[in-house]
Structure 1
Amino acid sequence: MVSTSPEVASHAITPGKGLKRNYLSFSEIVAQSIGTIAPSGTPGLVISVVFATAGNGTWLAYAFATIALLIVAFQINVFATRVATPGALYVYAGLGLGPFLGVISGWALLIGYVFTAAAVINGTVYTSLAVFHSLGVTTLDTVLNYGIAVIATFAAWWLAYRDIRLSTRTTLAIELTTIVLILALVAGYFIHRQSIIDEPQLHLEEVDFDKLRLGLVLAFFSFVGFESAAVLGAEAKDPHRLIPRSVIVSVIGVGLLFIIASYGLTSGFRGANPPLSTAEAPLTTLANTFGAGTVGFLVSIGVALSFFACILGSINAAARVLYTLSHHGLFHRTARSTHATNSTPHIAVTLVAIIALVHAVALTFGGWGLLDGYGILGSIATYGFLVSYFLVSLGAPLYLRQQGSLKFYHVLSSAAAIVLLAVVLVGTVYPVPAWPYNILPYVFLGLLGVGVAYFLLQRVIAPDQLVAVENDLLGTPPAVKG
């Protein structure tokens, strides 16, 4: 049972006061979102999966996904321009829809970040093994499998435990370096080819609506986590201005990278064997087609590091959501602790890292391949993001109405976001996917149900604590800006 003492209640309505205030710059805030997206990992692994469905429409699927996520970003920024909190979409949905749906959003978001961390542990191992294989090391896969998982998780935990600025700067250095290498590689390919025109892609040859729709669903998954800059609301400088900018910049910048990389890879693999859909290291293969093998090797290392950066970003984001839930009495109170020297939510960081590692390693130990584990864990995570995005998009116009700021275009953009998210959600369950993906929605609902059940239990056994939650989510609204 959670204590309902006045001390706990006062803590419950001031989440974030133990974190470092006015600490992070714009580039460091952007790095949090970029790191959680792991943009370098998409050309290195995910674009191949999208191509298997969308074919010559892969670049267009990413263009549509970029537009769709921008519309969702506008809903998030309705709150981000007015509210600064480490609870991010949990608090946002609660402000618009009330505590019950806010808690659903919070638990869904927590599931999304934790299972993303678990998925990209497998992604880190897979892409690291590809680097070792390119060096001729092919007999130590079993040892490297578990060793890389533990070392990568420990390193991410240490950075997240030590300092949020150190975390975001590490992420920024990894991602910027790798993105520059990827863009240079694609540019080098087209210079070697002496043309950027690829008629089959521009004419969308052999692409129909169903293929493009399924490609859009898969492309959407590449962006999840773009909103994670919002968890730095208590630590950012000028959060009402810089966090909304970070969310938009993340979507646009990453979207352009995905469009360019997917166009280049689709063109570069035309007629190749193996095809793009089955290539283990597509960027390295592309580099080898025009004699840039060294750059391709460096990109492969960067892709592995990008997945590592995603572990780090996901742990940071999940820990701050868990930290806020704990302040509200919705998780054990130890998770609301901050380190006396580092001012990080160190208990929450440690719990998230352990849970993510256990899930990743358990699937490997159970005989699942690394890509299978990546897909399973990533799919569960995606359901969490979709639910949270949906609730925030639904709550945005309601919140603006409370503020007396609602305009027709707010309603229109909210409706567009909800429709687009519904299309993506339906695409994950229909047609019914093969096992085990057909049961993953129920696995997600079971996990979500645990958090919601705990909330309902607390409403019975600790009603005073829940009053603090309602005060935080439904109390005096902050002043409207702009």
Structure 2
Amino acid sequence: MGTTADQPATPTPPTVPQAPDAPTNLQAGSIGLAGVLMQSVAQISPTLGIFYTIAFNTGQAGVSAPLTYLAAFVVCLLIAVPMAGLAQHLPSAGGFYTYVARGIGPRWGFITGWLYAVMVVIVPAALAAFTGAILHDELDGKYGFGLPWWAYALVMLVVCFACAYRGIVISIRFLVVMTMFEIVVGLGLAMTGLFDPGPGGVNATGFNPAHIGDSSGFFLAIVLSIFAFTGFESAAAVGEESRDPVRFVPRAIIGSLVLIGAFYVVCAWGLQIGWGTSNLGALADSPTAPAFVLADRLWNGGSIIVLIALVNSGLGVCIACTTSSTRTLFGMARTGALPRGLAQVHPVHRTPVTAVFVQSAIAVTVCLAGGLSLGAYNLFNLLGTAGTFVYIPIFILMNIAVFRFFHRKHREEFSVLAHVICPLASTAALLTIGWKSIVPLPDWPVRLAPALAATYLVLGAVVLFARNLRPGKRDWMGRAGELPDIT
């Protein structure tokens, strides 16, 4: 694949076949900074991100688990700083597709957009299955309410569809309420653990690098932690629907990352202290999520509050991923890089209606087929880890695009720190972490994750060469990276 193709001097807006007088743009100016910020925070999924990684990270990194979140935060910050610069110049629903197409070229832009779109289209399937399994296990075990996990999952995916179909405003309202509640619950449990510690008392041992044990386990924990952070970039997907995308999207990218970074580190520390740093082996091996155990002990049987927060978190990330995936598909389709039907906009709700139907159908299919064959938890672990490996080439390509975009097109803004040092450092970290996490391979079925990520890439290359690079089918290349509906 070539690395560059000159963009036309004047953007040529794509023509999307629609009904007469039908809108071709999303609903601009419908959400403010808080809404854009909550899109990113919700896709990060705060309480699910900490409550269901703390046991694994403790098992891999021991008492140093809080450091894995801190290390992941630093890596993601190195990525977010240059990304914010691209978002300021290119506030497009296409997100990574637009960034890389403008910075490197349309071919690599397509591959990057394809990888991101495929991943976030599928993520709601994994999260709905996972959250449904949590609901089933807790409600059946404690209250004898035995509805199967897939029934809960289907209800969640139907809610996601309804929000995505009706419009960005209703989606953001859901996200604001649910996300604020889950953050309060997560911080509340962590702070209670600090004030009522388990065996070992209050200490800062978890932040001492000298206690880092097996490097392979520590790096694998960082990989999972990076996935727990991903989602901060999704503010770009709703930029076109915000009132001031040039200012709001960069602020939301950095702000969501800083907010969740502090949240994760404090929660990881508080949960370990509340459990007892002298008994972390039991935390890592707990058959029940440690947050439930702690809530029952510290809040006198209050695990139902944690369950509500986790359901909020699972539903929130599904809604946010549905929003970002459908906007990415829309952003690519309106340039012709994907079938133009995916760029169809609802005449009343101003949502990418065809993309919403396609995404929802895929999510339901993957959720039921994958969850019933592998099990809900295995599906989540497999697709979640595969998503992390997909993010590695996406972020690396974006890093290359950052350097080329600012060095060639905006030399007056070029910064060695933001556009050279940060991209190089984060690329080195991503490659190192990726290698350390597959040598040796993790247990089944997570060991399939790298191959699954490679399958996404191969499928993207097939579509690129078989559809988009055929003679007479390359018009999209002149529109990739442009902003046809931003004035």
Q: Under a length normalisation based on structure 1, what TM-score does the superposition of the two structures give? A: 0.89
Of the candidates 408, 413, 417, which is equivalent to residue 422 of structure 2?
413
Of the candidates 452, 455, 460, which is equivalent to residue 464 of structure 2?
455
**Structure 1 residue ranges (4+ consecutive) displaced by more than 6 angstroms after TM superposition:** none
**For residues 335 and 393 of structure 1, what CA distance do their matches in structure 2 show?**
28
Are the equivalent residues in 2 in contact too, given 1:130–1:280 (CA < 8 A)?
no
In the alignment, which residue of structure 2 is the partner of 1:23? Answer: 30
Correspondence 1:427 to 2:436? yes
Closer, same or farther: CA 205–473 of 1 in aligned 2, 3 Å: closer
Of the candidates 178, 181, 198, which is equivalent to residue 203 of structure 2?
198
Aligned-residue offset at 1:454: 1.9
In the alignment, which residue of structure 1 is the partner of 2:7? Answer: none
Q: Which deviates the most, 256-265 or 191-200?
A: 191-200
| Deviations 1:399-420 (CA, angstroms, capped at 9, x unpaired) | 0012223232221111112112
Aligned-residue offset at 1:24: 1.1
In the alignment, which residue of structure 1 is the partner of 2:213? Answer: 208
**For residues 204 and 279 of structure 1, what CA distance do their matches in structure 2 show?**
28
Alignment-mate amino acid for residue 178 of structure 2:
I
Q: Matches of residues 454-473 of structure 1 in structure 2 within 5 Å?
A: 454-461=463-470, 463=472, 466-473=474-481
Alignment-mate amino acid for residue 460 of structure 2:
G
Aligned-residue offset at 1:132: 0.8
RMSD across aligned C-alpha pairs, in angstroms?
2.5
Are the equivalent residues in 1 in contact too, given 2:164–2:322 (CA < 8 A)?
yes
Are the equivalent residues in 2 in contact too, given 1:152–1:308 (CA < 8 A)?
yes
Aligned-residue offset at 1:274: 4.5
| Deviations 1:263-311 (CA, angstroms, capped at 9, x unpaired) | 11112223278424434232221122234423x3212211122111111
In the alignment, which residue of structure 1 is the partner of 2:149? Answer: 145
In the alignment, which residue of structure 2 is the partner of 1:159? Answer: 163
Of the candidates 19, 44, 62, which is equivalent to residue 37 of structure 1?
44
Aligned-residue offset at 1:470: 2.4
Correspondence 1:117 to 2:124? yes
Alignment-mate amino acid for residue 207 of structure 1:
I
Of the candidates 159, 162, 177, which is equivalent to residue 173 of structure 1?
177
Aligned-residue offset at 1:191: 2.1
Closer, same or farther: CA 8–97 of 1 in aligned 2, 3 Å: closer
**For residues 204 and 293 of structure 1, what CA distance do their matches in structure 2 show?**
35
Of the candidates 269, 289, 301, which is equivalent to residue 275 of structure 2?
269
Are the equivalent residues in 2 in contact too, given 1:163–1:342 (CA < 8 A)?
yes
Of the candidates 163, 188, 192, which is equivalent to residue 192 of structure 2?
188
In the alignment, which residue of structure 2 is the partner of 1:3? Answer: none
| Deviations 1:50-77 (CA, angstroms, capped at 9, x unpaired) | 1110111111111111111011001211
Are the equivalent residues in 2 in contact too, given 1:121–1:149 (CA < 8 A)?
yes
| Deviations 1:423-469 (CA, angstroms, capped at 9, x unpaired) | 23223322223343333323322232222222223344463x53343
In the alignment, which residue of structure 2 is the partner of 1:4? Answer: none
Correspondence 1:258 to 2:258? no
State the percentage of identical aligned residues: 21
| SS of structure 2 residue aligned to 1:413 | helix
**For residues 475 and 23 of structure 1, what CA distance do their matches in structure 2 show?**
19
Aligned-residue offset at 1:86: 0.4
Aligned-residue offset at 1:204: 5.6
Are the equivalent residues in 2 in contact too, given 1:112–1:383 (CA < 8 A)?
no
Q: Under a length normalisation based on structure 2, what TM-score does the superposition of the two structures give? A: 0.89
**For residues 420 and 292 of structure 2, what CA distance do their matches in structure 1 show?**
46
Closer, same or farther: CA 475–147 of 1 in aligned 2, 3 Å: closer
Q: Matches of residues 48-447 of structure 1 in structure 2 within 5 Å?
A: 48-133=55-140, 135-137=142-144, 140=146, 143-193=147-197, 197-198=202-203, 200-203=205-208, 206-208=211-213, 210=215, 211-270=217-276, 271=279, 274-294=282-302, 296-366=303-373, 368-403=374-409, 404=411, 405-409=413-417, 410-447=419-456
| SS of structure 2 residue aligned to 1:222 | helix
| Deviations 1:93-121 (CA, angstroms, capped at 9, x unpaired) | 11111011111100111122122212111
Are the equivalent residues in 2 in contact too, given 1:118–1:359 (CA < 8 A)?
yes
Structure 1 unmatched ranges of 5 or more: 1-6
Structure 2 unmatched ranges of 5 or more: 1-11, 18-22
Are the equivalent residues in 1 in contact too, given 2:383–2:449 (CA < 8 A)?
no
